[in-house]
């Protein structure tokens, strides 16, 4: 007797394969560092001269080293979020900033 795969099993495997195809360095990095966002992960990888959208390869020694270095930078960025006035490469909104409208005169 030959066993056949049930369509639900095929759908689950297909879904898993799609997730694996989308696994990028940026995605892996956000899972490595708690409270990290995709833009910060992207920034940390670019600081390491790596393509954040490159497909992750668990067997690549160079990618592993890049991820470790980027994780250290990203961890520091996350720690500094509340303490720094400026984070290099980012414009940070501050609620107390007063915006002057061009052409508006003082009365």
Domain membership of residue 97 (yes or no) is no
Give residue 81's pLDDT band: very low, low, confident or very high (50, 70, 90): confident
Domain membership of residue 55 (yes or no) is yes
Domain membership of residue 64 (yes or no) is yes
Domain membership of residue 57 (yes or no) is yes
State which residues form the domain around 31: 22-79
Give residue 65's pLDDT band: very low, low, confident or very high (50, 70, 90): very high
Q: Is 55 helix (H, G, I), strand (E, B) or coil?
A: strand
Q: What pLDDT is attached to residue 76? A: 87
Question: pLDDT averaged over the chain?
Answer: 77
Domain membership of residue 32 (yes or no) is yes
Domain membership of residue 66 (yes or no) is yes
CA-to-CA distance for 82 and 99, rounded, in angstroms? 22
* Number of domains, the chain: 1
pLDDT tens for each residue of 9-43: 665 656 656 555 679 999 999 999 888 888 889 99
| Dihedral sign computed on CA atoms, order 54, 58, 59, 61 | positive
Ranges 9-18, 36-45, 53-62, 87-96: which has the least confidence: 9-18
Neighbours of 72 (CB within 10 A): 13
CA-to-CA distance for 51 and 26, rounded, in angstroms? 9
Q: Which residues contact 1 (CB under 8 A, 6 or more apart)?
A: none
Domain membership of residue 86 (yes or no) is no
């Amino acid at each position: 007797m030959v066993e056949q795969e049930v369509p639900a099993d095929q759908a689950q495997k297909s879904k898993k394969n799609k997730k694996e195809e989308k696994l990028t360095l940026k995605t892996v990095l956000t899972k490595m560092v708690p409270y990290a966002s995709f833009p910060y992960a992207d920034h940390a990888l670019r600081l390491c001269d790596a393509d954040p959208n490159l497909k992750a390869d668990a067997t690549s020694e160079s990618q592993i080293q890049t991820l470790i270095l980027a994780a250290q930078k990203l961890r520091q960025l996350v720690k500094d979020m509340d303490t720094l006035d400026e984070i290099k490469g980012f414009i940070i909104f501050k609620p107390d900033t007063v915006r002057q409208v061009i052409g508006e005169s003082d009365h």
